[in-house]
A and B are shown apart, each in its own frame.
Chain A
């Protein structure tokens, strides 16, 4: 059917023509920051005066910025771990079960995506103030963990639904597998790709999250996005562009890993 084939081809061409400008419009503002980071100027400006690495050198030479970067990684990793454990176990617990109030429970898990972050931030602020935990990075990590949980949950749940045949659980048990063995031999292989993909999403969400981190910050608990945000307000240094480039690079890495995990899932099924 060469006629329909060429029709499809021209359809693809049309789609490309229509979507390319939109994609460009969406991407350019983010990508423009990279050449700005390579500017010689002492101020952040556009168009940049090429080409120098001094903004990166400044960024890496400023202990405050380096501390914030390391702190951000620390917060994000702990948040992703919290999200992976909470989201993953929730997905396993709810898989294949139906009971009264399940919808409500799922809604509760999904809530952090739906409710405005400012409200969550205020609630967290009041809670952690009461607990006298403010000022350290722990509240930020916990709050980000809550934020990352629904992303991991959705992804893990989708993975389980597509990968896990319920008869496998019974089959394993009939062969003598105790619950922990079932978890390891049946659930774990099925949930792993979804868990990885969800964790990547959670990483992306937590690493550049600014509202919660702003509310819960302390003298020694300023994450990189918060540092960047304040810098934009007060000094407009090219370090902003350098750190922003780091965000973009990390996002690309996370996206790539997630795509890899998704491809692996597709190949398995």
Chain B
């Protein structure tokens, strides 16, 4: 599969191809004042892999289609190296777009597919043939030039689609859920291949997906979208470890959200009382938020960060095991505690692994393993269906 890796071309990874693509104050409405994209701002830096991540209907694909030119923004600017291209038709922009299913021309062979962008740009036949062959060689498809797309495997089709999008030296690649329809195993290998090609060509990529694992694995930065807005943008570790809102915490990975009240600062830690004080009080990093005492907040704790104990300690909360599921690599517990059901994931084999329904437990976590999130989110409902 990785015949595409050629040591000689690896030096290209240091070269940054592509230009800066900046989106400023982008809005999209299909009329009646209902906006599917609201005030979206981001900059795709040269050589960067930026992912728009969000559930369906979050506006991520519409945003990508506006950058590609297939949708007209209601308001806003799309800048390539500072020039606004928002009003240009797609054929006058210079992006390589890869669609779900790849959309290769079925009647054209591999070489003709890859040549197409150059042909449309008026590159003379001999020249475009040479460049297309060179590109096919670089993606490891030199022996498949006369095949028709239907005679290729899914992975080969993806490489043709990428070669076709790369050959005319685009300002950036725009990828619209290219792996959405594939099974898990193939998807992982194709993710690796995209990442590999991106490093090798140093091209900037704007990637759209609803799959958080895919986003985590591939991106330099992730822009989490919900209801037409970018809720948070940052490197995967940042977004995962310091989610800005309960929505982000719930959408990227799994989390437990416990409502509480902010009491004040103590020794550099924020102090939060869970709902009624009897349920407990926690200290956790304030994450640079400015909060006022008495403000409603949400505490987020990842299932794998919660420790289960069989005996009481000072900083723990009492709970009752509702059910447990052995998952192979870990065991999942549903535990009734703090007035709600919490999910806990335990990897190591310990006395607590044998616990099951009805057993009383104590649970606790390190102060640093919990995040404080601003309270009720206004327009953004918490994605209950996504908090698995």
Contacts and interface: CB of A to CB of B under 8 A. Distances in A.
Interface of A: 165, 167-168, 170-178, 181, 185-186, 189, 268
B91 A176 contact: yes
B116 A167 contact: no
30 contacts: A167-B100, A167-B101, A167-B103, A168-B105, A170-B68, A170-B70, A170-B99, A170-B103, A171-B103, A171-B104, A173-B90, A174-B68, A174-B95, A174-B96, A174-B97, A174-B174, A175-B116, A175-B117, A175-B165, A175-B168, A176-B91, A176-B121, A178-B120, A181-B120, A185-B116, A186-B105, A189-B105, A189-B106, A189-B107, A268-B107
A181 B91 CA distance: 11
A253 to B, nearest CB: 26
A173 B89 contact: yes
Nearest to B120: A176
A171 B106 contact: no
Contacts of B96: 174
Contacts of B107: 189, 268
Given A173-B69, A174-B91, A175-B165, 8 more contacts: A170-B90, A170-B103, A171-B103, A173-B70, A176-B117, A177-B91, A178-B91, A189-B107
Contact of B120 (A165, A168, A175, A189): A175
Contacts of B164: 175
Nearest to A268: B106
Interface residues of B, number: 27
A176 B93 CA distance: 8
Interface of B: 68-70, 89-91, 93, 95-97, 99-101, 103-108, 116-117, 120-121, 164-165, 168, 174
B151 to A, nearest CB: 13
Contacts of B117: 175-176
Contacts of B168: 175-176
A172 B99 CA distance: 11
A171 B69 CA distance: 11
Contacts of B69: 173-174
- The residue among A176, A178, A268 with the most chain B CB atoms within 10 A of its own CB is A176
Given A185-B116, A186-B105, A189-B107, A173 B91 contact: yes
B269 to A, nearest CB: 51
Nearest to B117: A175
Nearest to A163: B106
Q: Is the interface of B mostly helix, strand, loop or mixed?
A: loop
A117 B95 CA distance: 53
B101 A165 contact: yes
B103 A165 contact: yes
Contacts of A177: 91, 116, 120
A173 B107 CA distance: 17
**Taking each of A173, A181, A185, which has the highest tally of chain B beta carbons within 10 Å of its own beta carbon?**
A173
A170 B165 CA distance: 13
Contacts of A268: 106-107
B86 to A, nearest CB: 16
A186 to B, nearest CB: 7
A219 to B, nearest CB: 49
A268 B93 CA distance: 32
Nearest to A179: B91
Nearest to B99: A167
A114 to B, nearest CB: 35
Contacts of B93: 174
Contacts of A178: 91, 120
A173 to B, nearest CB: 4
- Among B96, B101, B105, B168, the one with the most A-chain Cβ atoms within 10 Å of its Cβ is B105
A175 B108 CA distance: 15
A172 B100 contact: no
Contacts of B103: 165, 167-168, 170-171
Contacts of B165: 174-175
B368 to A, nearest CB: 46
Contacts of A189: 105-107
A22 to B, nearest CB: 40
A185 B115 CA distance: 13
A175 B164 CA distance: 8
A174 B176 CA distance: 13
A185 B93 CA distance: 19
A268 B151 CA distance: 12
Q: Nearest 9 CB-CB pairs, A to B?
A: A176-B120, A167-B103, A174-B97, A171-B103, A175-B117, A189-B107, A173-B90, A167-B99, A173-B91
A181 B69 CA distance: 17
A177 B164 CA distance: 13
Contacts of A168: 103, 105
A159 to B, nearest CB: 13
Nearest to B94: A176
A165 B105 CA distance: 9
Contacts of B121: 176
B134 to A, nearest CB: 18
Contacts of A175: 91, 116-117, 120, 164-165, 168
A167 B97 CA distance: 11
A268 B106 CA distance: 8
A179 B95 CA distance: 18
A116 to B, nearest CB: 41
Nearest to B116: A175
A175 B161 CA distance: 11
A171 B68 CA distance: 10
